[in-house]
Chains A and B, each alone.
Chain A
Amino acid sequence: MSLVPSVSGTPAAMPTAPDVPHEQLRTVPMRHRGRWAAAAVALVAGGGTLWSLAKNPNLDWPTVGAYLFHETVFSGLVTTLWLTAAAMAIGLAGGTVVAVLRLSANPVLSTLAGLFVWFFRSTPILVQIIFWGFLGALYPNLMLGIPFTDITFYSASTSAVITPTVAALLALGLNEVAYAAEIIRGGIQSIDPGQAEAAHSLGMKPGLTLRRVVLPQAMRVIVPPMGNETVTMLKTTALVSVIAGHDLMSNIQDVYAQNYKVIPLLVVAALWYLLLVSLLSVPQGWLERRYGRGSASAAGPSALRRLLTVRAARPGGPRTHTRIRKGNKA
């Protein structure tokens, strides 16, 4: 008999049938009753909201249908798309330059780049859009020449050069340069300095080192936040409606200003923005795989995948897949 009293280890506390061998004992996973209850509450609440929307006559689905593929909406859609693409292109190209200047050993260039980022990140985008739209009130004429001299190469009236579209592009593009610069700077700084040293020791010049060694690795850090920026940009283009930018939102506003069907037209806008943003995740996923080459990624399955495999995944608990990403080239 043991001198130490055992609480749970005594045979009396284990309701095990004595004739079942230990290796045949079955385990029963934890029953998550709270999870099922929370899911039921969420489904009822969500379903109720959807039901109230579906049967609400003010939503006016026939009007939504009539305008969803309307010519005005389409022309706005085209403007929104190219404005987003062009602003992001300016942001990416300019942002790379500003990021490199920011990291430069030249204190003047580095400070100027820092001031640029500070200014454009510290004023509301709406203020910047309106400012560029009314640039003519600040400089009635634009000229290209050498500062502090009378030498002028080109001169024109501001309102002729800075149309609402150009103003929108300048505002969105320059703002994006500031944000992209910070994202790219962070990406470049996340790379081990040993990478650049290895490239230099092979005789690679600074530009080649940046292009072939540092930036491709930094892209892994840069792509996800830049995807985020693109989504934000797509929706931010709606703000150029304040200077009549003829984007999707401007045109939608023009329509409901005439027919007063505000809610159905906002639904049209929302549906299109939803679709476009959803489509953006496709190229982002492609880019992330492209620049993830050679890195071990511990990416779990998506929430949707977990929902669909809830039964199969339960015994093992959440699984993580660690594997090396390979490029398309064999």
Chain B
Amino acid sequence: MTAPMVVAQGVTKRFGSVEVLKGIDLTVARGEVCCLLGPSGSGKSTFLRCVNHLERVDGGSITVDGERIGYRRRGDLLHELAEREIAVQRRDIGMVFQRFNLFPHMTALENVTEAPVRVRRLSRAAAREQAHALLDRVGLGDRAGHYPAQLSGGQQQRVAIARALAMEPKLMLFDEPTSALDPELVGEVLDVMRGLAADGMTMIVVTHEVGFAREVADTAVFMDGGVVVEAGAPRDVLDRPGQDRTRSFLAKVL
């Protein structure tokens, strides 16, 4: 058995006096698609942002591919890493945001080539070639020269996925990737994510799309109040939930 891609142990996080994560334990295997579901304020987005240290965890640990994220252990203490060391760790972890966060002053192509050229030191020609291939893969080969403002929300989100893939990550994090989209544009983004999952990408997806979770996820995790309420195969968690909280949440969203 190969080592898991993500291991979270006892992760806690507080904003001021509010404890938003109260000890999260989660393991994601290589090639696994893990969907985090739960009501807003349950801490699922915060947990996702801890995985690439956009939020610092206050206790516990997260490792990605065996490497501890954001901290170095010396004895019993975890020392936070410098920004540039964290930047190196983040190269291998792609992230897709609810609000896309494309760079508006760059074309779709430039959005996708920026990090490979500046961070991975890829040649401009190689980066462009790779970017064209990635834009083709998300179905936007003919939109390379468009600025984000000229693209629909669904197209922007697909460019954002291509931008993250350009760093050739081992792990992809999706933070409610379809929540800011008009209903008729959700499908095109989910299709791209389905394709990624089929290609064996390890993915953690915070989503409200129960249908997507049931169809694509290997593991569904239901969170509420900063804890994991239940986790397991989607057909168990989503169709035969063992906990009342899960049942009442699913009754509301379905």
Contacts and interface: CB of A to CB of B under 8 A. Distances in A.
Interface of A: 192, 194-195, 197-206, 208, 212-213, 216-217, 291, 293-296, 324, 326, 330
Interface stretch (B72-80, B141-149, B194-202, B236-244): B141-149
Contacts of A293: 105, 147
Interface residues of B, number: 33
Interface string B115-135: 100110000000000000000
B104 A201 contact: no
Contacts of A295: 104-105, 149
Q: Which residue among A202, A204, A205, A296 has the maximum number of chain B CB atoms within 10 Å of its CB?
A: A202
A192 B105 contact: no
A296 B147 CA distance: 10
A10 to B, nearest CB: 47
Contacts of B114: 202, 212
Contact of A201 (B84, B94, B145): B94
Given A206-B84, A217-B105, 12 more contacts: A200-B87, A200-B90, A201-B52, A201-B90, A201-B94, A202-B90, A202-B115, A203-B119, A204-B118, A208-B118, A294-B106, A295-B104
Contact of B119 (A195, A204, A216): A204
A199 B29 CA distance: 27
Contact of B105 (A197, A204, A294): A294
A111 B2 CA distance: 52
Interface of B: 52, 54, 83-84, 87-88, 90-91, 93-95, 97, 99, 101-107, 114-115, 118-119, 145, 147-150, 160, 163-164, 167
Ranked 4 nearest A-B pairs via Cβ: A203-B91, A198-B101, A294-B147, A202-B115
Given A192-B101, A208-B118, A202 B164 contact: yes
Q: Which residue among A192, A203, A294, A296 has the maximum number of chain B CB atoms within 10 Å of its CB?
A: A203
A330 B147 CA distance: 12
A135 to B, nearest CB: 40
A206 B115 contact: no
A197 B101 contact: yes
A68 B14 CA distance: 70
A202 B149 contact: no
B163 A324 contact: no
Contacts of A216: 105
Contacts of A217: 103-105
B118 A201 contact: no
Contacts of B102: 198
B104 A294 contact: yes
Nearest to A219: B105
Contacts of A294: 104-107, 147-149
Q: Which residue among B87, B93, B102 has the maximum number of chain A CB atoms within 10 Å of its CB?
A: B87
A194 B101 contact: yes
A194 B99 contact: yes
Contacts of B83: 205-206
A206 B104 CA distance: 19
A312 to B, nearest CB: 29
A202 B163 contact: yes
Contacts of B107: 294
A205 B147 contact: no
Contact of B115 (A194, A195, A197, A204): A204
Given A197-B101, A212-B114, A204 B147 contact: no
Given A294-B149, A296-B149, A330-B145, A203 B167 contact: yes
Nearest to B107: A294
Contacts of B97: 194, 197-198
26 contacts: A192-B101, A194-B97, A195-B103, A197-B54, A197-B101, A198-B97, A200-B54, A200-B90, A201-B93, A201-B95, A202-B91, A202-B163, A202-B167, A203-B115, A203-B119, A203-B167, A204-B119, A206-B84, A208-B118, A212-B118, A291-B105, A294-B104, A295-B149, A296-B149, A324-B147, A324-B149
